[in-house]
Amino acid sequence: MQKNALIHSGHITPLKIYLVVGAALIFLTAVTVAVSFIRLGGWNVVVALIIASIKALLVAFFFMHLIYDNKLYLIVLSAAVAFLAILIILTMFDTMERDRIYPIKAGPINKNAIIYERHTSDSLANPNHSQPTDSSADEVH
């Protein structure tokens, strides 16, 4: 690519686009707050994450110029999101489904908080030995 060193080829986004995207982000914020007051059970978090993802994409594509810039930057962002997804999805499979194979049940890990002083006598005295009764098999397999 031959380019004159004096010419800066950065894309200049029209003012209107920034203002429209900003307004869309604030509108979507209002939508996500409104939806949170409707009881949808497990779907609340799904709707909230979809709206948040749309907002994040608007920020990335227009404010961070991904739509105009070298697509290499888009690949870097996608790689971050992909590895984050792998991290969360695989860990969630493990933590939610492990008890199908091993007799393990999730429970309080460490009753270290002061509030437990009122309920149990040994919580603060032995912070390292405070396994709850129903999850005594929490050791790693």
Q: Which is nearer to other proteins, 38 or 101 (CB)?
A: 38
* Residues contacting 135, CB < 8 A, separation 6+: 104, 105, 106, 107, 108
Which letter does DSSP use for residue 45 in this model? H
3-state secondary structure of 57: helix
Give CA angle at 49 (17, 19), nearest 5°: 15
Angle at 50 between CA 46 and CA 53, to 5 degrees: 135
Subset of 13-42 contacting other proteins (CB under 8 A): 13, 15, 18-19, 21-22, 25-26, 29, 32-33, 36, 39
Binding mask 99-128 for other proteins (x = CB under 8 A): -------xxx---xxxx--x-----x--x-
In one-letter notation, the amino acid at residue 115 is I
Residue 59 is a binding residue for other proteins (CB under 8 A):
yes
CA gap 61, 71 in Å, rounded: 11
- Is residue 88 close enough to count as binding other proteins by CB under 8 A? yes
In whole angstroms, how far apart are CA 85 and each of 16, 82, 91, 92?
34, 5, 10, 10
What is the closest distance, in whole angstroms, from the C-beta atom of residue 111 to other proteins in the complex?
Answer: 8
Which lies closer to other proteins via its Cβ, residue 11 or residue 141? 11
Residues that bind other proteins (CB under 8 A): 1, 3-6, 8-10, 12-13, 15, 18-19, 21-22, 25-26, 29, 32-33, 36, 39, 44-45, 48-49, 51-52, 55-56, 59-60, 62-64, 69-70, 72-73, 76-77, 79-81, 83-84, 87-88, 91-92, 95-96, 106-108, 112-115, 118, 124, 127
